[in-house]
Chains A and B, each alone.
Chain A
């Protein structure tokens, strides 16, 4: 499966999150790593690596980042498995992550919301103390 464009990736990722929400169980996996596959011109070759084993510590130019998302279905449920992947070029990182944060925040709705009840109780206490 080829890599998706950012727009497609985010739309499908939102779908993955919403199906989790409706089913009420399950997981979403998001992975990111340096894209080292199929990059002959940018990553050091074996020969180069023999000469300088630490060549990947100081690449000559920025490398793209690979971002994957799955719904955590294994071999048992291959038909239901959703695999998404996209490549983020170095100059697109900032824009990608701001959108990524939005999608994730919207999708991860089952996390505990910030507890405002305690704060309200405290505020009431303070008010009470001020008048008394």
Chain B
């Protein structure tokens, strides 16, 4: 049962598992709290000990650490896929992932899939939809411009760093 380093990998593997076994796969999200690590007692011989003692109560009242583990489990094959994090910034994204996986469970067509199908349909009608083709091309050009701008910015940053050294 592997832990994935990236949540995207976990999402991809989980959705593959759900595709294969949609009615038995379950996803469990475990949020657990652990008391904060104990702070070592400072040596009393030092004069600084008084200062440390003043700081200690604050350290001991440290809020407990929380962890979030996502687990996809399929009981028939025994497949388990896991992802672990402790960052609050990821929660919203992870719940969104649960949502996309929930769509797969419900057998509601996933939005991305529909787009893929649309793209697959597009190539044969290239000759007919020349206007549509140009419409697709413009955003590509925009992204290229953006990339160039970003590259330019990066270069400037590097120059600055070099000058400082």
| With known contacts A108-B88, A111-B91, A63–B99 Cβ distance under 8 A | no
What is the interface residue range for chain B against chain A? 35 or more
Interface of B is mostly: mixed
Q: Which residue of A lies closest to B26 (CB)?
A: A33
Chain B residues positioned under 8 Å from A63 (CB to CB): 105-107
Q: How far is the CA of A36 from the CA of B99 in the complex (A)?
A: 18
| With known contacts A90-B106, A101-B96, A111–B35 Cβ distance under 8 A | no
Asked whether, in the complex, the Cβ of B102 is within 8 Å of the Cβ of A111, the reply is no
0/1 string, A96-128, CB within 8 A of B gives 1: 010011001101111111100000000000000
Asked whether, in the complex, the Cβ of B95 is within 8 Å of the Cβ of A100, the reply is yes
Chain B residues positioned under 8 Å from A40 (CB to CB): none
Number of interface residues of A (CB under 8 A): 47
Chain B residues positioned under 8 Å from A47 (CB to CB): none
Asked whether, in the complex, the Cβ of A129 is within 8 Å of the Cβ of B68, the reply is no
A sample of 5 inter-chain contacts (CB < 8 A) reads: A30-B31, A31-B27, A65-B102, A104-B29, A104-B95
